[in-house]
Amino acid sequence: MTSRRQEVLKSMGSQKVLQIELLEEDEAWKLFKNVAGPIAERSDLQPTAEKVAPKCARLPIAIATVAKALKHKENLYEWEDALERELSETFLLCCIMGHNAATEELLKYRRGLGLFRGLDTVEKVRRRVLTLVSELKDSSLVLSGSSPEQLDMHDVVCEVAIAIAFRDRGWLASGKEEVSEEWSDKDRMRTCSLVSLQNTKVSELLDERYSDVRRVNLEILDLRKSTIRVLPKEIGQLRRLKLLDLSGCFNLKVISPNVLSSLSRLEELYLYGCFNRWDWEVEGSENNPRSNASLVELQSLSRLTTLEVHIWNCSIGTLQFP
């Protein structure tokens, strides 16, 4: 039996618990060959197989999963596909989104990162996402979720993939309720293009270390269902930001004035079910400045293509978007 939690093993009556460590490189290759079978050492496939195995990060469950998926693939191009960038990007994004993520969320992430090259319609994009997810499911890297529209993955595989995504792609995800220690690495954070802190217990997004974020390359900021209370004015300096998701942030009470209007490259904004303190004044006065965001700010977002917002007060007049 294997489990992430010792108490689970003890409750099942196990007599001895062994911790599974990362394998040495030669051990990882031996396991890969044992699971994949003789085909891994076929003369035309072995050079590619030796490149595929290290991509599993020396993790036994990842090695076994990938090797099993390739066991009956006899064509070289099928093995080379295991290294394909588009498929690996999709897998890493699935893991960043976490358990029971919706396929529609994957579409949103890939679109925000500009990963749909050569696809000019939403329907083509959606079909491509479904095809990629199907390929990952066939390889057992991604599992079916609790509904047909959702997907899941093994916990250990997910955690390793999150580490790889941060190391190789500059994509940061907490993967847990508490914010990961990578968030405290200011220099490393400057290189991140995607940050996902969904479902995390974070009340303050930035501290004094991040007072100047103009050089940060962030394109996607996902704070869904986090405990954030204030969206600080410094967020307005993220001039590369394309997607901001604050859905379900029930504790969010303040969005600093002119932050949203400063995000000139913003294409997708998700504020559904999280914020209801819109300031109805276009501009504050010297004696009574605005204390919160105004819906009128959204009119200046010329690149905005997707907006989800919950408005409780419907007597606000008309908003005109570019």
Domain limits of the chain?
A: 17-68, 85-155, 170-282+289-309
Cα 178 to its chain centre, rounded Å, is 16
pLDDT, position 263? 92
Q: What is the pLDDT of residues 157-192, one digit of tens each?
A: 787 788 888 888 888 876 555 555 555 566 666 777
Question: Which range in 52-56, 134-138, 277-281 is most confidently predicted, on average pLDDT?
Answer: 134-138
- Asked if 254 and 277 count as a contact pair (C-beta separation under 8 A), the reply is yes
106-118 average pLDDT score = 79
CATH class name, domain 85-155? mainly alpha
Burial (CB < 10 A; 0-12, 13-18, 19+), residue 64, is middle
**3-class secondary structure, 244:** strand
Distance CA 55, CA 60 (A): 12
In the predicted model, is pLDDT for residue 276 greater than 50? yes
- Asked if 279 and 304 count as a contact pair (C-beta separation under 8 A), the reply is no
Task: Name the average pLDDT for the chain.
Answer: 77
pLDDT, position 208? 47
Q: Return the higher-pLDDT residue of 6 and 183.
A: 6
211-222 average pLDDT score = 72
106-121 average pLDDT score = 76
Distance CA 121, CA 49 (A): 36
20-27 average pLDDT score = 78
Q: What is the pLDDT of residues 221-272, one digit of tens each?
A: 888 888 888 888 888 888 889 999 998 888 888 888 889 999 999 999 998 8
pLDDT, position 209? 47
Q: What percent of the chain has pLDDT over 90?
A: 4
Does 3.20.20.10 match the CATH number of domain 170-282+289-309?
A: no
pLDDT, position 98? 80
210: confidence class by pLDDT, cuts 50, 70, 90: very low
Q: What is the pLDDT of residues 62-95, one digit of tens each?
A: 777 778 777 777 776 666 666 567 778 888 888 8
pLDDT, position 46? 83
